[in-house]
Amino acid sequence: MKRNSWRQPRFDRMLSNLESGTYRGITQAITILRTAYWYERLRADTGRDTAYALGKHLQPTTYRKNAKGDAYHHNLWPKYASGKHAPSLALLDEIDLRVPGSKGYFRHALFDAVDLTTALGRGGDELLQRLHPSVQHAVFERSALKHRVYRRRASLARTLALLEPQGDLEVLAAGVVLLREAQEARADERAFQIGESLYRMLVIACTGTQATFIRAELAFLILVLILPLAESRGRTFVPDLAHFLRSCDRLNTVILGLEDGNQIGGARKDCLRAMRRVLHGDFGDDLRFGLMAKLAPAAPLETLTARSQFDLHRNAVLTAWGWASLQSGKMEQFMPTDVLDQMGEVPRTA
DSSP letters along 238-275, please?
---HHHHHHHHHHHHHHHHHHHHTTSS-SSHHHHHHHH
Q: What is the DSSP string of 41-54?
A: HHHHHHT--SHHHH
Neighbour tally for 345: CB within 10 Å:
9
Contact 195, 237 (CB under 8 A): yes
If phi > 0 it is left, if psi is from -120 to 50 it is alpha, else beta; for residue 154 that is alpha
Question: How distant, in Å, are the alpha carbons of 29, 30, 219 from that of 16?
Answer: 8, 12, 15
User: Which residues are 296's β-sheet partners?
Assistant: 236
Residue 234 and residue 303: Cα distance in Å, rounded? 9
Per-residue model confidence as pLDDT tens for the chain (350 residues):
455 678 899 999 999 999 998 999 999 999 999 999 999 999 999 999 898 889 989 988 776 665 555 555 567 899 999 999 999 999 999 999 999 999 999 999 999 999 999 999 888 999 999 999 999 999 999 898 888 889 999 999 999 999 999 989 999 999 999 999 999 999 999 999 999 999 999 999 999 777 788 999 999 999 999 999 999 999 999 999 999 999 999 999 999 999 999 999 889 899 999 999 999 999 999 999 999 999 999 999 999 999 999 999 999 999 999 999 998 877 788 888 888 878 777 776 65
pLDDT of residue 108: 96
pLDDT of residue 1: 42
Is residue 12 within a helix (H) or strand (E), and if so which, with residue range?
helix 7-19
Neighbour tally for 344: CB within 10 Å:
10
If phi > 0 it is left, if psi is from -120 to 50 it is alpha, else beta; for residue 66 that is beta
3-state secondary structure of 300: coil
3-state secondary structure of 220: helix
Q: Could you tell me the residue ranges of all domains in the chain?
A: 1-107
Residue 192 and residue 196: Cα distance in Å, rounded? 6
Question: How distant, in Å, are the alpha carbons of 260, 306, 312 from that of 298?
Answer: 42, 14, 10
Question: How distant, in Å, are the alpha carbons of 125, 235, 238 from that of 116?
Answer: 16, 21, 19
pLDDT of residue 341: 79
Nearest CA to 175 among 162, 187, 185?
Answer: 162
Spell out the residues 6+ positions from residue 305 whose beta carbon is closer than 8 angstroms to its own.
233, 234
